[in-house]
DNA sequence: GGGAATAACTGAACATGATCATAATTGATC
DNA sequence: GATCAATTATGATCATGTTCAGTTATTCCC
């Protein structure tokens, strides 16, 4: 319904947005985000300098446009792989691992993207929805793990999902944000953190080693 | 030794830096960070516009200058209160709670500060040191808890501290960064998350309810 | 198809963070 | 206390994100 032969206006706008996104991505990849000027993007996209800001609120929003499609692909692929995997931690690593691998392809750009993800006030249609879907899927995995008897059932799936997601956020930030963690340490470190979240740090468990893995 | 009657130059520089910091803080508080121009800060501090950037690398660095003294006070106060408190989670909440209460005083400015904390590449003398001291103190609290038999001893204190700190970072980000969490939810939510980190999400514990609180 | 109404586009202009060649200030040396 | 090298300060200038009054393109209606 919004597809097919829409009006000329609509088609032009669509095409223009795609040219803008492609131009921005290309330039961000080769020159870096800060080093790319809005004017360069406009020139490459074949539009006037003022036109850009009819399509995006500001330059940072271009980060989201260039990221969104990739993020959805990563998310779908991780979700599919998780469905073929046993064990909550391994499932989560399918999902999280896709993103860390992706971020590693262009660390500088990914840093800017992650900053956008964590610090942009969320409009419901853009970043917000993406994040919410992500959180919901983690909650679904938790719920299934509860049904399998892997996770305690006196918690809402959302609550447990937050606790797990916190580790993903933290390791991502430590690596891309503060740059205090090395890339190689992220996946093993995150995995261990998720395990510790499941096992608990406390001493009120017996047979810890036998029961976990 | 670097105190006392240092040269005139040194004294002038010190005084100027303090005027700059005071001017910046005042303006950030009343107008907001983005809305305050570098020129305003210079005018209020009684310096030329170019002089500011002999003292700070860029405008964002002013956020650190205005925050550092306060952060040290909060840290010391939280540390002292933690020393008078029993139980790792309660101790951590003494520390983390000081910061959340402080951030609540000016949410917009705190958002900018927190962004700086998480995304500035760390010079060893500035933000980096502050963060490292913070992490080390959390590790010390963990180590003491291990000695008390509260926390399992097959983990390095640093490892366990990271897992706990992750929740603080996540709740702070969710509140100030993405603004998806309400201020009132932060302290109880964070406390619960820390408890869950200690207890574990898994099902391989008996008598969970009795043992935790 | 013509013309009014609406939407989209444009680049000059603006605001502001940061730079840099030049000027002023300080402190050592005699 | 005069001279000079070194440090510090300055504001005009630049670069760039963003805006806006004016222009052009599209759609709608008869």
CA A63 vs. chain centroid, Å, equals 12
What's the pLDDT score for residue A7?
78
| B142: Cβ contacts below 8 Å, ≥ 6 apart | B88, B151, B157, B160, B161, B164
Buried b (16+ CB within 10 A) or exposed e, A78-103: bbebbeebeebbebbbbbbbbbbebb
Å between A180 CA and D15 C1'?
A: 32
Residues of B in contact with A212 (CB under 8 A): 202, 204
Rounded to whole angstroms, what are the CA distances from B121 to A62, A106, A147, A165, B81? 23, 17, 43, 24, 31
Q: Residue A67 is encoded by which pair of tokens? A: 């990221």
| A100: Cβ contacts below 8 Å, ≥ 6 apart | A172, A175, A186, A187, A190
What's the pLDDT score for residue A129?
83
pLDDT tens digit string along B78-107?
999 999 999 999 999 999 999 999 999 999
pTM beyond 0.75? yes
Nearest Cα neighbor of B79 from B96, B64, B65 is: B96
Q: How many Cβ atoms are within 10 Å of B155's Cβ, its own excluded?
A: 18
- The CA angle A14-A20-A24, to the nearest 5 degrees, is 150
Mutate to test the interface with B, among A63, A108, A119, A190 (most CBs of B within 10 A): A119
pLDDT tens digit string along A100-128?
999 999 999 999 999 999 998 767 667 77
Tell me which residues of chain A, numbers 118 to 137, contact chain B at a CB-CB cutoff of 8 Å.
Answer: 118-122, 128, 131
Tell me which residues of chain B, numbers 70 to 129, contact chain A at a CB-CB cutoff of 8 Å.
Answer: 111, 115, 117-122, 128
Residues of A in contact with B186 (CB under 8 A): none
Residue labelled with tokens 């992650």? A114
**Contact between chains at B201 and A155 (C-beta distance less than 8 A):** yes
Q: 3-class SS at A197?
A: helix
Q: Report the protein residue whose CA lies nearest the C1' of nucleotide C7.
A: A9
**Contact between chains at A159 and B204 (C-beta distance less than 8 A):** no
What's the pLDDT score for residue B115?
95
Residues of A in contact with B115 (CB under 8 A): 115, 119
Chain A residue closest in CA terms to B177: A119
> In chain A, which residues have pLDDT < 70?
1-6, 122, 124-125, 205-213
Mutate to test the interface with A, among B34, B63, B163, B180 (most CBs of A within 10 A): B163
Chain A residue closest in CA terms to B213: A204
What's the pLDDT score for residue B125?
67
Residues of B in contact with A139 (CB under 8 A): none
| B133: Cβ contacts below 8 Å, ≥ 6 apart | B75
Nearest Cα neighbor of A168 from B98, B166, B194, B132 is: B166
Which 8-state DSSP code applies to residue B55? H
DSSP string for residues in A15-82: HHHHHHHHHHHHHHHHH-TTTS-HHHHHHHHT--TTTHHHH-SSTTHHHHHHHHHHHHHHHHHHHHHH
> In chain B, which residues have pLDDT < 70?
1-6, 8, 122, 124-125, 205-213
Q: Residue A127 is encoded by which pair of tokens? A: 């970043």
Judge contact between B32 and B106, C-beta under 8 A. Answer: no
**Contact between chains at A203 and B151 (C-beta distance less than 8 A):** yes
């Amino acid at each position: 319904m919004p597809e097919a032969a829409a009006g000329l206006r609509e088609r032009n706008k669509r095409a223009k947005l795609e040219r803008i996104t492609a131009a921005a991505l290309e330039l961000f990849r080769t020159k870096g985000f800060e080093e790319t000027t809005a004017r360069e993007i406009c020139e490459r996209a074949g539009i006037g300098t003022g036109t850009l800001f009819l399509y995006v609120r500001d330059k940072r929003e271009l980060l989201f446009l260039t990221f969104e499609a990739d993020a959805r692909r990563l998310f779908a692929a991780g979700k599919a792989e998780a469905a073929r995997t046993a064990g909550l931690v391994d499932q989560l690593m399918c999902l999280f691992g896709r993103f860390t691998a992706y971020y590693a392809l262009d660390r500088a750009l990914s840093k800017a993207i992650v900053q956008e993800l964590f610090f942009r006030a969320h409009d419901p249609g853009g970043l917000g929805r993406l994040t919410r879907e992500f959180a919901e899927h983690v909650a679904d995995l938790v719920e299934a793990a509860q049904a399998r008897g892997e996770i305690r059932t006196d918690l809402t799936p959302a609550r447990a999902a937050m606790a797990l997601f916190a580790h993903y956020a933290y390791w991502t930030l430590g690596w891309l944000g503060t740059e205090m963690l090395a890339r190689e340490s992220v996946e093993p470190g995150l995995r261990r953190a998720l395990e510790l979240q499941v096992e608990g740090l406390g001493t009120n468990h017996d047979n810890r080693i036998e029961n976990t893995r």
